[in-house]
Amino acid sequence: MMFYQYSLRMLILAITIVAAYFPLARIYHSWFTKTYGPYYVASVLGSKIHDGDSVADVARHFDSHRLLNNNDSRQMKNVTEFCSRNNLRIEEHDVFYTFSIVGGGVDLMFRDGKLVNLQNNLYSDALKLSQMGNYPLPNPMLSFGFLPLYLIVAVCIVVLYSWLYRQDQSDRRRPVADETTFIQLQNNPMDRSGGSAAS
């Protein structure tokens, strides 16, 4: 019965830990991108998206995105100048999207619905780029993302719960001398006869 109760509680604890991950991951992502926006954008450009990705593939790394148009003259100018400096070809039907997070953003070129002219090597060292721009740098542990940190905390919670449960069960099994036991010992005939013999 006790093992059944322990298994049921462990199952409930595991479900709670899994269910809590998703809202906490969103909160962590929002905090991280707001605090370390430039570092996050550079890390995405360096390794998480590549030429050939769709708009949706890129958008899942950002909070919002939209198509640039003639009203975004300043951004369009910056993009075309960047392409010119890096000898990147722009074709007639190419379009540009801006992808944003709370702490930053980036403008990217798409051709026939696919990402083009992204030079991942320019952003391969997100840490160095952030240092050059005097942007906030995350603790090295945070660079691995939220999941490893959450798994460590989850394992600690499970181990702690198991230890507390074993301690509780150990206390329950330990015999305790109550008042009834004390009275029985005092009224035990063996004790009275032993006392008479000694006298």
Residue 11 to residue 3: CA distance in whole angstroms: 12
Closest by CA to 5, choosing from 172, 174, 156, 176, is 172
Q: Grade residue 10 by pLDDT with cuts at 50, 70 and 90.
A: confident
Q: What is the pLDDT of residues 19-66, one digit of tens each?
A: 999 999 999 988 999 999 999 999 999 999 999 999 999 999 999 999
- For residue 197, the model assigns a pLDDT of 46
Mean pLDDT of 71-95: 87
Mean pLDDT of 61-78: 89
Q: Grade residue 193 by pLDDT with cuts at 50, 70 and 90.
A: low
Q: What is the pLDDT of residues 99-116, one digit of tens each?
A: 999 888 999 999 999 999
Domain boundaries defined on the chain = 1-36+139-175, 39-137
- For residue 155, the model assigns a pLDDT of 92
Residue 102 to residue 86: CA distance in whole angstroms: 28
